[in-house]
């Protein structure tokens, strides 16, 4: 396992999974997204993973014009690495998912390393009333939905954003097979070291949030990639902090943020992304580890630099 010198904290500030009725603290407008991102960076996050939403009703919206309302504000106020999602919102076409990253030419973008079922419909049992009709419809449709990321799709993103823009990827691996998909593209020369894996636990359709799944995926990644990679962990919902802490202990990096969990503790909504970042930073430092600065993250991940982006 590649040992992290310091722990890179990624914060995913809003995502496209949770809906406005689930938490009043979920950032929706460009102003809210910008101020949450800036506060998360001040709290210790060196990478900010970004989605956009429709300011009227909070629906996931991957419109480049909306991104351009908050990206320059974040850039002016922080040194954080900006990472734009290419997952977008469930149900978008690949070109819709790519449009914002194409316009912004960021240092990093997400890249989902395989197709999978992506079941959010169990949340309908937890939340009974919704502010907007789209929310239960969106959650319900995931009962019959495949998050499509074929080999052709992945190749398209690697060539378009990777070769075309010099963007490096947060490679989202939801299950063991996705590591082998990464290895396939390494063999073809389309993924070059150092590369960054985000190991994801607790999405219905992907690997469950059990620590032995994390340990096993780590040992397979070590076998496949040796010292060529850095890895990070995110776990959905109540497993977020436990998995992030375990990742720190095992020599990895961590991701938190309201995209992945709306909570700060048992039954307690997080009031901000920065609260989650501050909590994992405290845990990491209590474990006698240090937190990476944005420039350390840039150097370790061989990013092109914050002055090479299109915003
Ligand atoms: N929502 C996470 C489970 C993406 O944006 O490309 C994974 C994610 C996907 O962040
Ligand atoms: Zn995301």
- CA dist 183 and 191 (Å) reads 8
**Which residues place a Cβ less than 5 A from the ion ligand 2?**
15, 85
Atom of ligand 1 at shortest range from CA of 88 = 5
Distance, in Å, from the CA atom of 300 to the CA atom of 277, rounded to the nearest integer, reads 21
Instruction: Report yes or no: 145 and 207 within 8 Å, Cβ to Cβ.
Output: no
pLDDT of residue 97: 98
Ligand 1 lined by 142 (C-beta under 6 Å): no
Residue 198 alpha carbon to ligand 1 centre in Å:
9
Pairing state between β 146-147 and 253-256: unpaired
Peptide bond into 82 cis (omega under 30): no
The finding on whether 111 has its CB within 6 A of some atom of ligand 1 is no
The whole-number pLDDT of residue 230 equals 98
**How far apart, in Å, are the Cα atoms of 147 and each of 94, 112, 117, 219?**
10, 9, 6, 26
Label residue 140 exposed, middle or buried (CB < 10 Å: 0-12, 13-18, 19+).
middle
- Distances in whole angstroms, Cα of residue 70 to Cα of each of 27, 41, 76, 162, 290: 12, 14, 10, 23, 29
Q: Whole-prediction pTM value?
A: 0.98
Give me the domains of the chain, ranges plus CATH numbers: 9-308 (3.20.20.70)
Q: CA-CA distance, 22 to 135, in Å (whole number)?
A: 10
Assigned token pair, 143? 């009962």
Res 190: pLDDT:
98
pLDDT at 2: 46
User: Do residues 105 and 165 make contact, with C-beta atoms less than 8 angstroms apart?
Assistant: yes
Query: What confidence score (pLDDT) does residue 5 get?
Result: 81
| Segments of the chain with pLDDT less than 70 | 1-4
pLDDT of residue 228: 98
Q: Is 172 in the pocket of ligand 1 (CB under 6 A)?
A: yes
Strand partners, 195: 229
Task: Pick the residue whose CA is nearest to atom 6 on ligand 1.
Answer: 87
Ligand 1: centre distance to CA 176 (Å):
17
Report whether 198 contacts 235 (CB < 8 A): no
Instruction: Render the burial of 160-169: b for 16+ CB within 10 Å, e for the rest.
Output: bbbeebebbb
Strand partners, 57: none
Ligand 1 in contact with 43 (CB < 6 A)? no
């Amino acid at each position: 396992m590649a040992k992290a010198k310091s722990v890179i904290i990624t914060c995913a500030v809003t995502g496209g999974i949770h809906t406005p009725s689930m938490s009043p603290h979920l950032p929706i407008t460009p102003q809210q997204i910008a101020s949450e991102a800036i506060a998360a960076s001040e709290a210790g996050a060196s990478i900010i993973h970004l989605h956009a939403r429709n300011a009227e009703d909070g629906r996931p919206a991957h419109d480049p014009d909306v991104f351009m309302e908050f990206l320059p504000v974040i850039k002016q106020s922080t040194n954080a690495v900006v990472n734009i999602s290419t997952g977008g919102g469930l149900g978008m076409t690949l070109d819709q998912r790519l449009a914002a990253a194409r316009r912004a030419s960021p240092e990093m973008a997400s890249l989902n390393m395989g197709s999978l079922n992506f079941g959010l419909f169990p949340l309908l049992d937890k939340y009974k009333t919704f502010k907007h009709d789209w929310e239960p419809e969106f959650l319900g449709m995931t009962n019959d939905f495949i998050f499509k990321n074929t080999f052709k799709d992945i190749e398209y993103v690697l060539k378009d954003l990777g070769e075309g823009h010099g963007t490096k990827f947060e490679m989202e691996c939801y299950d063991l097979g996705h590591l082998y998909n990464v290895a396939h593209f390494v063999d073809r020369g389309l993924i070059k070291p150092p590369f960054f894996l985000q190991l994801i636990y607790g999405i219905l359709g992907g690997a469950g949030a059990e620590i032995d799944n994390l340990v096993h995926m780590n040992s397979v990644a070590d076998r496949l990639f040796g010292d060529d990679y850095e890895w990070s962990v995110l776990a959905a919902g109540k497993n977020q902090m436990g998995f992030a802490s375990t990742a720190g202990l095992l020599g990895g990096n961590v991701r938190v943020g309201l995209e992945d969990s709306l909570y700060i503790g048992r039954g307690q909504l997080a009031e901000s992304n920065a609260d989650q970042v501050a909590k994992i930073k405290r845990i990491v430092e209590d474990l006698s580890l240090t937190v990476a600065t944005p420039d350390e993250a840039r150097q370790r991940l061989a990013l092109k630099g914050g002055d090479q982006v299109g915003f």
